[in-house]
């Protein structure tokens, strides 16, 4: 995807020709946020080294998303291990079964071009997502990780559709 390409999210969603529009709310997620809703919500965020996992239940037609900053180390949503476990648990609390869940993983880049990439947290954030999703048997059906620039993400929790816009890499 080139830095300038972007498919704008729709203003409304039609299930098929002539069907009524789906009204939805919007939620902007910052580092440490986690949203799971059974009602339609278009979630958005901006990621660099942080990671967002989008979970979708295609049977029940709802989903959730997180945005975490570091892979581990605490019991808040900025910590990937805790945030991913809570995302899965909240989906289950709203009626999803693990066998129905599908995931998409985004972020984990190195937009700051560190001199010593061994200090970069992005790759470890991605590994935490993959490990926890794998341990729960949740397939990753799409991902865009390890980029060299930030990305803007939109997730429709009622369709599972994600739109991305890659920001230009710094030189």
What integer is the mean pLDDT of 139-160?
93
Query: What average pLDDT does range 164-171 have in this prediction?
Result: 76
Residue 27 CA to chain centroid, in angstroms? 13
Whole-number pLDDT of residue 19: 58
Q: What pLDDT digit, counting tens, does each position of 13-25 carry?
A: 445 566 556 688 9
Give the closest residue to 54 by CA, choosing from 122, 145, 120, 124: 145
Q: How confident is the model at residue 127 (pLDDT cuts 50, 70, 90)?
A: very high
- Mean pLDDT, the chain, rounded, equals 86
Residue with the bigger pLDDT between 147 and 7: it is 147
Taking alpha carbons only, the member of 40, 37, 48, 32 closest to residue 15 is 40
Topology of domain 24-166, CATH:
60s Ribosomal Protein L30; Chain: A; (3.30.1330)
Question: pLDDT per residue over 45-98, tens digit each?
Answer: 999 999 999 999 999 999 999 999 999 999 989 999 999 999 999 999 999 999
Of the two residues 127 and 11, the one the predictor is more confident about is 127
- Whole-number pLDDT of residue 149: 81
Tokens of 110: 């190195």
The answer to whether the CB of 46 falls within 8 A of the CB of 57 is no
Q: How far apart are CA 78 and CA 65, in angstroms?
A: 13
Report the percent of the chain where pLDDT is more than 70: 80
The Cα-based distances of 157 to 111, 124, 165, 170 in angstroms read 27, 26, 18, 32
- How far apart are the C-alpha atoms of 146 and 111, rounded to whole Å? 9
- Residue 129: what pLDDT? 98
- Taking phi over 0 as left and psi of -120 to 50 as alpha, with beta for the rest, 73 belongs to left
């Amino acid at each position: 995807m080139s830095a300038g390409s972007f498919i704008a999210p729709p203003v409304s969603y039609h299930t098929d020709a002539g069907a009524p529009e789906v009204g939805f709310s919007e939620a902007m997620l910052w580092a440490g946020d986690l949203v799971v809703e059974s009602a339609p919500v278009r979630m958005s965020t901006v990621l660099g080294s942080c990671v967002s996992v989008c979970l979708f239940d295609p049977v029940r037609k709802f989903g959730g998303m997180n945005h975490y900053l570091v892979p581990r180390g605490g019991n808040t949503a900025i910590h990937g291990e805790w945030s991913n476990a809570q995302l899965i648990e909240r989906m289950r609390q709203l009626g999803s079964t693990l066998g129905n869940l599908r995931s998409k993983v985004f972020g984990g880049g190195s937009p700051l071009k560190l001199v010593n990439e061994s200090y970069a947290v992005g790759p470890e954030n991605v590994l935490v997502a993959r490990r926890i999703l794998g341990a729960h048997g949740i397939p990753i059906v799409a991902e865009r990780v390890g980029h060299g620039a930030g990305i803007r993400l939109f997730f429709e929790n009622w369709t599972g559709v994600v739109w991305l816009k890659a920001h230009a890499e710094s030189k």
